[in-house]
Amino acid sequence: MDVQSYVRSAEKQTSLYKRTLFVVSISQIFGGAGLAAGVTVGALIAQQMLGTDAYAGLPTALFTLGSAGAAFSVGRLSQRYGRRAGLSAGFIIGGLGAIGVIIATVINSILLLFASLLIYGAGTATNLQARYAGTDLANSKQRATAISMTMVFTTFGAVAGPNLVNVMGRFAASIGVPSLAGPFILAAAAYISAGLVLFIFLRPEPLFIAREIEATKQVIRKNENPATSGHSNKRGILVAAIIMILTQIVMVAIMTMTPVHMHHHGHELSMVGLVIGFHIGAMYLPSLFTGILVDKLGRTMMAVASGVTLLLAGFIAALAPGDSMTLLIIALSLLGLGWNFGLISGTALLVDSTEISTRAKTQGTVDVLIALSGAAGGALSGMVVAGSSFPTLSIVGGALSVLLIPVMIWYHRQNRIKD
């Protein structure tokens, strides 16, 4: 590969940027289908095996915890060997974890289930880290839009996954596998397919070319102004991490216990799949518009919008009667939308605040913290509901999201003082 030909040609850079977005977007269709399995039936499998609601949040906690370790590894792999190596490995390992979940349900092994969910979490981490790949060759006014493009395509798989619960359940039963494991059959095929798409087609490596382009620009800047230095913005990295961590905790906690809450009120599995489908659709489908808004209105304003939207979601979920499908769909849709606002504004701020030479490693580290926060939210959600109620969990989650507002006011003031 002639890297310098890309460095010298703006036209080739634009072409590679578009090609990278296309390949990553195709992989995200498969990746979205893979992540939906754990969200939709993970808690129900644990509830069935353990016979209690108190630990129903453990599957989400486990695959989110697994995604933390995977986020670290994928970030380091990407930093050293490129996005292609890191992302394809992460997806394929996630697919192997899904296969382990299927086997665990067949032999009724709770230990194998928990171990497999940890491995399955690699797919979740990779699905999120793929959003960074589209930003490597994007300029500062394209970054949020580039992030959103890859997330929009995640919608197709993510919405299809929960709505195929019954179909995959019947297929699983027809081959002698418990019906609740059906979505994990889809997850295994989807994650492995996503990994193969990236491994085969993500060439040339966008991260390496982006590094060379930035190195050339830095030489030019230093020649023009020797005082110029390229350091990461630590305050920006911190605030970006806080935005994504808070939105992840709130979203995962409420989302995890919604299927169990619905099950207690007599809703069928197909209804659970419908609500989760709306939720995941709202997590990803608005991304194209969110990216444009983040680039136009700014990272700060959209992060505040995230906090307000999550607050509204929490209160509607708390006040909705357990048998009201309409209000549950509205609440879970707002929950997904608030997460979407937070993830895209936080991701764009993180990319803005990092240097290309260490960007993938920093992104991986921040995603570890996001995953750990999600694991905590998932684990605690079951305990809160068992000790109190689903409305209490929803109100606490909504109130927690309000912290985004003072954080962003502080960041905005600090930047204004610095300027």
Q: What is the pLDDT of residues 355-367, one digit of tens each?
A: 888 888 899 999 9
CA pair distance 110, 75, nearest whole angstrom: 30
DSSP strands (E only) in 95-248 = none
Distance, CA of 66 to chain centre: 13
Q: Cβ distance 347 to 148 under 8 Å?
A: no
Q: Does residue 267 contact residue 389 with C-beta atoms inside 8 Å?
A: no
Q: Which amino acid is at 259?
A: P
Structure tokens at 227: 């005082």
Least confident interval from 51-55, 175-179, 195-199, 402-406: 51-55
Q: Does the pLDDT value for residue 132 go beyond 60?
A: yes
Let me know if 273 is exposed, middle or buried by CB neighbors in 10 A (0-12, 13-18, 19+): buried
The pLDDT of residue 222 is above 80: no
**Token pair of 18, please?**
């578009």
Q: CA 87 to CA 130: how far, in whole Å?
A: 7
In the block, which residue shows the tokens 């590894």?
73
**Within 13 Å, how many C-alpha atoms sit on residue 201's CB side?**
16
pLDDT at 48: 81
Banded pLDDT at 131 (limits 50, 70, 90): confident
- Indicate if the pLDDT at residue 228 is higher than 70: no
Q: Please give the model's pTM, rounded to 2 decimal places.
A: 0.80
Cα distance between residue 20 and residue 201, in whole Å: 9
Q: Which is nearest to 177 in space by CA: 101, 229, 78, 251?
A: 101
Give the pLDDT mean for 59-74: 84
What domains does the chain contain, in order, with CATH numbers? 8-418 (1.20.1250.20)
> Per-residue confidence at 224, pLDDT binned at 50, 70, 90?
low
Angle of helix 83-107 versus helix 182-201 axis, rounded to 10? 160
The single-letter code of the amino acid at 328 is L
Alpha-carbon gap, residue 44 to 266, rounded angstroms = 14
Residue 286 CB partners (closer than 8 Å, separation 6+):
337, 340
Residue type, 199: F
First vs last Cα of the chain: how many Å apart? 41
Q: For 364, phi and psi rounded to 5 degrees?
A: -65, -40
Q: Which two tokens stand for residue 380?
A: 């605690």
The mean pLDDT value of the chain amounts to 87
CA distances from 13 to 16, 82, 213, 277, 374 (A): 5, 17, 9, 37, 36
Summarised one tens digit per residue, pLDDT across range 300-358 is: 999 999 999 999 999 999 998 888 899 999 999 999 999 999 999 999 999 999 988 88
Q: Does residue 91 sit in helix, strand or coil?
A: helix
Q: Is the pLDDT of residue 419 over 50?
A: no
The total number of residues written for the chain in this structure: 419
How far apart are the C-alpha atoms of 264 and 152, rounded to whole Å?
33
Cα–Cα distance for residue pair 45/59, rounded to 1 Å: 8
In this structure, what token pair is assigned to residue 218?
């830095």
